[in-house]
Structure 1
Amino acid sequence: MPDAPQTDALTEGGDAPGQPIRLLFIEDSENDMLLLLHHFRSAGYAPHFRRVASEAGLLDALADTTWDVILCDHKLPGFSAQGALRLIQERALDLPFIIVSGVIQEDEAIAAMRAGAHDYLSKSKLDRLIPAVERELREVCNRREKRLAEQTLRESEARQRALTDNIPGVVFRMGFTSDGMLGFQYLSEAASMLFGTSADELIGGSAGWMTWLLDDDLPGFIEAADLSAAHLSTLNWEGRIQLSSGEQKWINLRSSPRLSEAGEVVWEGVMWNITHSKRVESDLRESRSQLAALSNHLQRIKEDERERIARDVHDVLGGTLVAMKFEMSLLESKLESHPAQARERARNVGRMVDDAIATVGRVTRELRPGILKDFGLPAAIESQGEDFAQRTGIQVKILCNDHDLAPDYDTALALFRVFQEALTNVSKHARASQVGVRLLQEGDEVLLEISDDGVGIDAADLQKPRSFGLRGIRERMSSLGGRLDVDPVLPHGTRLTLRAPLYDPTATERPPQLRSHAR
């Protein structure tokens, strides 16, 4: 009989409505099909059905409609239940496949069940037909719900894995081990970046990672974990670990505890590498400490400078004025009786006046270098060098190829003050007999080089916390966008090389220049 669609009139608007069901019959006997339909209608179903009897008909029916149940005869001309079952399985269709046959041997039925058939019935005993179909429909529903739940779980795990793998911190679950320590039960892939060890090597009963905690930090971690376990409160701890490679890191561990099904406390949370922020914090504290020390040092320098100026005014200028007054008294007493002595006294007074004028000029120049503004940086450097040589006896040789060099005033003033500081350091520490100075322009930069033939500076001295002189010079040059280089001079001595832009590179307009006079 050719395969053709067969439609139950009741499903198309008859007078006996019922629960719809889609039945696919693989059957060569129409009477046998009608017998099976009678059982469904008697059970309150309104079947929509189709009968096929060949492989081509089965494929066409599967492509045309979605079916609830397949009822298949064991053997048909040119086709069989095993062949039909194979086609269903190849298409991964989860359909109840029930064999209904007039004649089937027990071993054939068992083989069909092993091959994937859900049940087999005899056409002469159809009292189990409806219960078997309803049972398999429930199983199909259960399997679909299970697959949906498993798919939802897989998608949820995939989302969680994507989140944990892309979080820069290490997502973890942690619990107590048999020895009372804390071991990881789960770690995200970021563990390899933090610990330098794969997550698989750290997961399990081992609590060996706690041996990485520094001895100073381990008691605090154990105390925080015990307190969190006792009150089921958030565990928020930070401390240091030292890896097997010798590298030391700061970590922040934040997690929430809960009781597992076994009644044990487990923590779930995130662990972060905070080494960089801790180093920045430490550097900031150190920088603030150094800044405070530098500020105190600058204040002491200011007081020392005031004391020196006061001493110069009191001891030198004041002494000179007192001596002048004494000489004037002697001069007055000898004007008539001893004219030769009077003339000598007058000459002494003149010399004292010259000394007083020189002292006033030197003190004034150090307080406010007017020569810098009036005659430019080269003239101010030469004048300061001459004053230094006269005061200390240290020879100063100055080479300036360009007396028209005219940086902006802030740059010139900074370089002049650095030059003063450098000469002060030479007089205090270098034990030098000679200082060499070069001032020139290189491209868009002004270069000031100061070298001496003293004892030199050790590299370790440059890193001393209280190396304020050089630190102050370096800070001043940095504020100009310049730099300071400190190098040894062979066979002994030190060279300071200062470079600074001629003009402020951030300024939109060229700043006013110092007046420069060629010599």
Structure 2
Amino acid sequence: MSEINYIVDRLIIPVFSLDKDLTFNYINKKARDFFGYGSAEFIGKKIDEIPSSTLHQFADIYQQAMKEQQKVCLQHYYREEATWLEHHIYPSKDGLTACIIDITEKEKIREQEKINLSREIHDELGQQLTALLMDISALDKYQQNKDGYTQKKIDDITDLLNITVETVRKISTDLHPKVLDNLGLAAALEWQSREFEKRSGITVQFQCNMTNFVFPSNIATCLFRIYQESLTNIARHAEAQMVSAELEWKEDGIFLNITDNGKGFDTEMATLKGRYGLTGMKERALQVGGRCKVNSRPENGTSITVQIPKPSLI
């Protein structure tokens, strides 16, 4: 064993490396313990040949990192052990090195902070703004002999407060979508579909073949946010009359499919120009070990498919 390998073998986090063909050429002791296999099961084998469903399912992500020569960081939730793990993948021209870090405590703290901040914004700031609206309403009702200027100022302040209240509600929901806690993902997506119809006038057909499935919080939030972003893009850009969406369970994971009959666009140009939030949606999916694929052509509508593989749901 070389000196550098000896040092890495003593690290308290799983570390392994692969050559440019995604064949294992090193794995430290912590990684062997983590996966439950010895060196013989890894060295000389490709990542999709390892008897670990997690690595097998993530093989395409490792391959993409190697191809694009870009660092990848993705989060993965093991539901049975209630553990959050973060995969860090560092490619080079000769291969890539990866390490796995347990971020369970950090994620619990971060999620609780978001919930607390959401409650604080909704309860405290929301109540204060509501009180201001009531005061303005009382002033408008009881003030006698209002001139045109005073009435306009009261109306302007009322309009601004109403807008601010809606902004506060949106920020609170963005921090922690309570609808997911109250309804669950499938019902929350159905609710979002109906709300979108009311606001936009665009028909949404939503279907779900999953019942009584409890999603990990990060997966539910990811899918809900991507659905919201997709509908927002459709309302702003697509000029569509109908949206078809489906949440379904398949053999290789969970899929969220969103299709519209709008005018479509050039996906390559849109990505280069940073339009439609495409990068943000793809990053959201990648952070939970999933993939987001966007297909569109001018005058041919748009379809978005989000896949969450089984390991991220376990």
Classify the TM-score, shorter chain: 0.3 to 0.5
Rg: which structure is higher?
1
Q: TM-score, normalised by structure 2?
A: 0.45
Q: TM-score, normalised by structure 1?
A: 0.29
Tell me which of the two structures has the higher relative contact order, counting C-alpha pairs closer than 8 angstroms and 6 or more residues apart: 2
